[in-house]
Amino acid sequence: LTPLKELEVERRRAERLVYFQTLAAGIAHEIKNPLVAIKTFTQLLPRRLGDTRFLEEFGRISTREIARIQRLLDRLRTLSRPAGAPRHGIDVRAPLTDALDLVQAALEEKGLAMTVGLGSEKCMVLGNHQELEELFLNLLLNAHEATAPGGTISVEVTRGETDVLVAVADNGPGILPELLERVFEPLFTTKPRGSGLGLAISSGIAQAHGARLRAANRSTGGAILTVEFPLTPAASAVTV
């Protein structure tokens, strides 16, 4: 090889090394999310051994979160392009509620307030409950990380005639305008400990559900992430 070609080979090798180092850090970050729920129950276990209801809940949560880790690993093989998962008509508020339950302890620990507006109308979409729960959990954790202690996160579900919007907003520093188009790129992050995978995975899940995930800054400060789902034909035909 000529000196120039050797330099090119070394450059590409260095780029691949950085890529895999970043990817490894990202995988660790994403696996940490479900481990938080398991860790919380495990820490309480010695004091609750005689509590049958607690033990049943511990078993249920642990099994579910271990399965979540497995799904994450499977999806990361193709950088979060979910495909082939069974889909059926579900109320989008159900997986959202499960995600809210999972993140509640983390919000309380950081001293964050949360306002939730789910509406009274069913919001039926064609989807997979577990994937949508993962999508919403990523959005909520992103808002959690962006919001300083004492701040507020708001979650709002708005149903239209043919679609339903799920918005997660925070009152953190917001997103630099020039970076709004890049926040869903795999491995792109502005956080010192971020992986750049959470929002990329969420974007992949949204696309697989025929939905659009968008990021914007609020005029009052902070960022807002909005997922726009098409209602199922039967649901959109119902007068709201």
Residue 151 pLDDT: 93
Q: If you average pLDDT over every residue of the chain, what do you get?
A: 82
Q: Which CATH number covers residue 65? A: 1.10.287
Provide the pLDDT for residue 113.
Answer: 93
Q: Which of 22, 55, 76 is the last residue of a domain?
A: 76
* pLDDT band at residue 142 using 50, 70 and 90 as cut-offs: confident
Q: What is the pLDDT of residue 159?
A: 93
Strands (E), the chain: 88-91, 113-117, 124-127, 152-159, 163-170, 212-217, 223-230
Residues 30 and 103 in one domain: no
Give pLDDT, residue 1. Answer: 60
One domain for residues 108 and 217? yes
12 and 72 together in one domain = yes
- The count of domains in the chain is 2
Q: Which residue would you say has higher pLDDT here, 24 or 79? A: 24
Residue 140 DSSP SS3:
helix
* Domain, as residue range, for 188: 88-236
Same domain flag for 108 and 66 = no
Mean pLDDT of 115-143: 91
The C-alpha atoms of residue 141 and residue 99 are separated, in whole angstroms, by 10
Q: What percent of the chain has pLDDT above 70?
A: 80
Q: Is the pTM value of this prediction over 0.75?
A: no
- Whole-number Å distance between alpha carbons of 45 and 50: 9
